[in-house]
Amino acid sequence: MLGQLRANFRALCVSILLAPAVLGASWIVPGAVWTDTSGNKIDAHGGQILQEGTTFYWVGSAYASNEVPNIYSSTDLLNWTFQGPASTAVEFMYRPKLFTSGGKFYIWGQVNRLVQALESSSINTGYSVYGSAFSLPPDARTYSDEGIFVDTTGEAYILTSADSNNLQINEINGGSSVSIGTRVDNGNLIYLTEGAYEAPGLMKSTGGIYYLVMSTKTGYTANANQFWWSTNIAGPWNGPSGIAPSSSNTYDSQNTFELKISGSQQTTYIYMGDAWDSEGTAASNYEWLPISVDDSAHTITLEDYAFWKVDVSTGVITTSTTGKRYNAADAFNDLVSSRYLVVEDSCVACERSVHNIDSQSNVTIHNIEGTGEPQWVSIHYTVSDPTAGDAYVWLNGEKIKIADKNSRAGKFATVPINLTLKKGNNNVLTFGCHAHAENSDFVAHLEGIEVVDD
Ligand SMILES: *[C@@H]1O[C@H](CO)[C@@H](O)[C@H](O)[C@H]1NC(C)=O
Ligand SMILES: *[C@@H]1O[C@H](CO)[C@@H](O)[C@H](O)[C@H]1NC(C)=O
Ligand SMILES: *[C@@H]1O[C@H](CO)[C@@H](O)[C@H](O)[C@H]1NC(C)=O
């Protein structure tokens, strides 16, 4: 009897191990095209995440559908299920933010440069208009962006930025009838020095320091987002300082929300940014990165990872990946056209690269191993001028513009893209580029590719 049970148990284990792998997102890959569980591109820009129990709800503006608020849900921040538009009652709602109080759910967003609230009894659908649209700040200034923040005390705040270089923080009155309450600064607008700011987000560290993150105002072009700190939500605010190396322009993104994961082992803060395309369309992607906090220095800094994930129950971040590397230099002998190509060290202690790849030359890597399922492939390359041309790969003859697969294309040296390689080791990948203008001296340098393990 016991032996039979053991045998059954072994059989069960074997069948679990042999079950076909369920395909899903295995990493958070900043800048890449993210798809939902139906395989559609996630459309939730200028958004925010509200955690209810073990489920995370991501609300954002649907740029492919007249900016209605879309909602996605996930239990791991990787695998997102589309819940549908939150409401059919509004359109052109920007920067929607979710909030819950008294067993109801609310979305605040910007409509026609006014704040509009929506309300529903279920978090993922059925929102109707709640009250009239109103102006914040309530003076002659024009309101633009908003954020939301719930303090450890349970107090909630709405953040609004205006065109005259200020930020306003209002309490949210909770209970069964939610409303916007008093300004935390007792009527004095918070003026942030040296510049003009929008896209506010706020977090409070475990050490009790408030960090306010905002972008400067450059439309859909990325800028170096800044932070301020304070020991009191009413200020005074100290800053600004950068949250990332300023030359990276916040890794080509704009702040929308700071997500806190209160894990059993650590509290982890996540920067949620939008990687807008140049016109702010639905082709825009997302740039989420862990935030490292140093309360003794009063600094927060984005940690730049090409692949990462967080265990939402422990709060622990994993970043290391293994994969199979294919060096461009090893493909050098195969070059069909090698007019100007040279193999050189990319930099001190880096791999050797194939340099001067232009519109007249390609580098082809053979015998790449694939699984027959979508896989992450890092393309390690740089270009002479990201505005002057584009790099492409041809996978087994199919042409793919790298920038269509990842907003980081041309701007950073590691660009992960999702490719479906054939099963087996006979995949062929050709790398090449096109300049936008004729007689351009646009060139690319390819170090190699890496097929990343899940
Ligand atoms: C993704 O989430 C859906 C819905 O919760 C679930 O059915 C599916 O198994 C999940 N896939 C993975 C890979 O976690
Ligand atoms: C890769 O892209 C395919 C569609 O081409 C999609 O079904 C799959 O979910 C994507 N995988 C990841 C990890 O993004
Ligand atoms: C580069 O390779 C692609 C795919 O094989 C091919 O279509 C293209 O003509 C090649 N370009 C050059 C300059 O050889």
CA-nearest residue, atom 6 of ligand 2: 39
What pLDDT is recorded for position 430?
Answer: 95
Pocket of ligand 2, candidates 418, 419, 420, 453: which has the most ligand atoms within 8 Å of its Cβ, to mutate? 418
What pLDDT is recorded for position 346?
Answer: 62
* Helical H segments across 224-293, by residue range: 249-252
Q: Which ligand is nearest to the CA of 42?
A: 2
Q: What is the DSSP letter of 137?
A: S
Please check whether residue 124 lies inside any domain of the structure.
yes
Pocket of ligand 1, candidates 23, 28, 35, 37: which has the most ligand atoms within 8 Å of its Cβ, to mutate? 37
Same domain, 299 and 334: no
Distance (Å, rounded) from C-alpha 114 to C-alpha 442? 45
Same domain, 165 and 243: yes
- How far apart, in Å, do the first and last CA atoms of the chain sit? 40
Which structure tokens are listed for 118?
Answer: 């929506």
The residue-averaged pLDDT of 246-266 equals 97
- Give the residue from 44, 27, 106 showing the smallest Cα distance to 81: 44
241 lines ligand 2 (CB under 6 A): no
Distance (Å, rounded) from C-alpha 60 to C-alpha 52? 17
Q: Is the dihedral of CA 5, 11, 12, 17 positive or negative?
A: positive
Cα of 79 to ligand 1 centre, how many Å? Answer: 6
Phi, psi (deg, nearest 5) at residue 344: -140, 165
Same domain, 159 and 201: yes
- CATH code for the domain of 368: 2.60.120.260
Same domain, 342 and 237: no
The residue-averaged pLDDT of 69-93 equals 97
pLDDT tens-digit profile of 211-225?
A: 999 999 898 999 999
Same domain, 314 and 328: no
Distance (Å, rounded) from C-alpha 320 to C-alpha 303? 13
359 lines ligand 1 (CB under 6 A): no
Domains identified in the chain, total number: 2
Same domain, 257 and 373: no
Number of separate helices (H) and strands (E) present in the chain? 3, 33
Q: Which helix or strand (DSSP H or E) is residue 185 part of?
A: none
| Highest averaged pLDDT of the listed ranges 60-64, 142-146, 181-185 | 60-64
- CATH code for the domain of 46: 2.115.10.20
What pLDDT is recorded for position 222?
Answer: 96
Q: Which ligand is nearest to the CA of 398?
A: 3
Cα of 362 to ligand 3 centre, how many Å? Answer: 6
Same domain, 43 and 192: yes
- The position carrying tokens 């009191």 is 232
Please check whether residue 8 lies inside any domain of the structure.
no
The residue-averaged pLDDT of 62-78 equals 98
Q: How many CB atoms are located within 10 Å of the residue 426 CB?
A: 13
106-116 CB burial, b ≥16 within 10 A, e <16: bbbbbbeeebb
Cα of 193 to ligand 1 centre, how many Å? Answer: 46
Same domain, 356 and 330: yes
- The position carrying tokens 């800048």 is 31
Same domain, 354 and 387: yes
81 lines ligand 1 (CB under 6 A): yes
pLDDT band at 184 (very low <50, low <70, confident <90, very high): confident
What pLDDT is recorded for position 165?
Answer: 62
Cα of 399 to ligand 3 centre, how many Å? Answer: 10
The residue-averaged pLDDT of 281-307 equals 97
* Helical H segments across 336-382, by residue range: none
Q: What is the pTM of this model?
A: 0.91
Cα of 40 to ligand 2 centre, how many Å? Answer: 9
Percentage above 90 pLDDT, the chain:
69
Distance (Å, rounded) from C-alpha 129 to C-alpha 439? 56
Distance (Å, rounded) from C-alpha 26 to C-alpha 438? 41
Distance (Å, rounded) from C-alpha 138 to C-alpha 413? 46
Q: Which ligand is nearest to the CA of 24?
A: 1
Q: Which ligand is nearest to the CA of 22?
A: 1
Computed over every residue of the chain, the mean pLDDT equals: 88
Q: What is the DSSP letter of 122?
A: B
pLDDT tens-digit profile of 301-329?
A: 999 999 999 999 999 999 977 899 998 88
Q: Which ligand is nearest to the CA of 376?
A: 2
Cα of 373 to ligand 3 centre, how many Å? Answer: 25
Same domain, 194 and 283: yes
Q: Which of 319, 345, 368 is the last residue of a domain?
A: 319
Report yes or no: 364 and 408 within 8 Å, Cβ to Cβ: no
Report yes or no: 235 and 225 within 8 Å, Cβ to Cβ: no
Distance (Å, rounded) from C-alpha 273 to C-alpha 123? 23
Cα of 98 to ligand 1 centre, how many Å? Answer: 23
Range of the domain at 174: 24-319
Q: How many CB atoms are located within 10 Å of the residue 329 CB?
A: 18
pLDDT tens-digit profile of 98-138?
A: 999 999 999 999 998 889 999 999 999 999 999 999 887 65
What pLDDT is recorded for position 18?
Answer: 41
- The position carrying tokens 């409070």 is 204
Pocket of ligand 2, candidates 27, 28, 34, 35: which has the most ligand atoms within 8 Å of its Cβ, to mutate? 35
Cα of 228 to ligand 1 centre, how many Å? Answer: 38
CA separation, residue 247 to residues 273, 411, 442, 443 (Å) = 17, 10, 21, 21
Same domain, 366 and 252: no
Q: Which helix or strand (DSSP H or E) is residue 73 part of?
A: strand 68-74
Considering just the CA atoms, what is the radius of gyration of the chain in Å? 24
What pLDDT is recorded for position 191?
Answer: 61
The residue-averaged pLDDT of 354-378 equals 92
Same domain, 239 and 93: yes
152 pLDDT above the threshold of 70: yes
Report the atom number in ligand 2 closest to the C-alpha of 34: 14
What's the gap between Cα 174 and its chain centre?
Answer: 30
